[in-house]
Amino acid sequence: MAWVLIEHRVGDFEAFTEVFVGDAARRARLGCTGALVYQVADDPGTVIVLLEWESLEAAREFAGSLELEMAMEWAVSHIATPRVTVLDLAIDSPH
């Protein structure tokens, strides 16, 4: 199991939500098995997206895709450059 962590600023959360929801079928087709979106409690303009992938390779491919770059540019209205990190599960603990 692998994850892609995306952290970025959004100017309009509703516009971001529209792009994110609209991209769900494409993410699933590429191997995404789940997604969570968080807003930073003290800064709701900062969004953290955590995407679960069926493989590390699929996560890396998605993280490096031009389509992801274009979707994020549109969603964040050029406020800041998003940070994208691919994560590989190292420890799975129930607590």
Hey, where are the domains in the chain? 2-86
Section 5-9 average pLDDT: 89
pLDDT at 36: 96
Q: What percentage of the chain exceeds 70 in pLDDT?
A: 83
Contact 67, 27 (CB under 8 A): no
Name which CATH class applies to 2-86.
alpha beta
CA distance 64 to 42: 30
Section 51-77 average pLDDT: 78
Give the angle subtended at the CA of 20 by the CAs of 5 and 3, to the nearest 5°.
20
- The region of weakest confidence among 15-19, 41-45, 66-70, 86-90 is 66-70
CA distance 35 to 4: 9
